[in-house]
Amino acid sequence: MTARAASNPVVPGSGSTRGLILNLSLFQLGWWALVLSAAQGRPLIGLVIVALILAWHLGFVRPLASEALLIGLATLIGLAFDSFLITTGWVSFGPPSLVVVQTATLASAPAVEVATSLAAPATAPVVALATSPELARANIATTSTGTSLVAALPPAWMLALWANFATTLNLSLAGLQTRPWLAALLGLIGGPLAYWGGASLGAMTFVAPLPALTTLALGWALLTPLLLALAATLARRSNP
């Protein structure tokens, strides 16, 4: 086993180019598996693949406790961030098997689209989807408290994306731990591109693209160096 640095978790081959490529490749595999399976309405496939990646990662990394804590904290941070995006009404996570049909029957309300599932029977209920942030927020606010809380939470596959990203913080992205401005630049560009890629593949929708992408750029510019600093701090505390 070879450590990248005295403070970083040890993973077999992590100090070699091959180890870094493997870590980055597994991250990419997890991202594509989650996004593509979610876009097809089968997120469980991606969740299983990422669960295997995480199990492999945690099976080799040492010390295990600090790396597991890092992945857990990164997932919680992602939960808070994506929940904020959902409650603003700027983004929506949903299956791509929705056929959206413009309707003019709701003259008293702002623009509303009616969506029905391709696979749903003719008797299935019709779902109204907001096409503006105001309606998206209203849809959450007018439901019961329990339902609104669930509606404001990102899906499991989105949380798995954060856990998957966390596996790179002490390995393929470890070199950015001492370069916060470069890490911020990576987040500024890479964060919005990742979400845009997910939307292009049909895994999510930008209801209000401009504020959503602006928030994603600024948020990831802040969160990327923050997560890298968190990774370095946990690693140092586990290796005094």
> What is the overall mean pLDDT for the chain?
80
Are 37 and 45 within 8 A, CB to CB?
yes
pTM flag (> 0.75): yes
Judged on CB neighbours under 10 Å (0-12, 13-18, 19+), 3 is middle
Domain extent listing, the chain: 17-92+150-238
Measured between alpha carbons, how far is 2 from 46 in angstroms, rounded to an integer?
30
Q: Is residue 12 predicted with pLDDT exceeding 80? A: no
Give me the residue label for tokens 């969160």. Answer: 223
- Scored b (16 or more CB within 10 A) or e, 43-81 reads beebbebbeebbeebeebbbeeebbbebbebbbebbeeb
Could you tell me which residues are beta bridge partners of residue 118?
none
- pLDDT tens for 131-148 read 455 545 544 444 444 556
Measured between alpha carbons, how far is 94 from 77 in angstroms, rounded to an integer?
21
- pLDDT tens for 14-60 read 557 888 999 999 999 999 999 999 999 999 999 999 999 999 999 98
Q: Which of 39-53, 104-118, 128-142, 170-184 has the lowest mean pLDDT?
A: 104-118
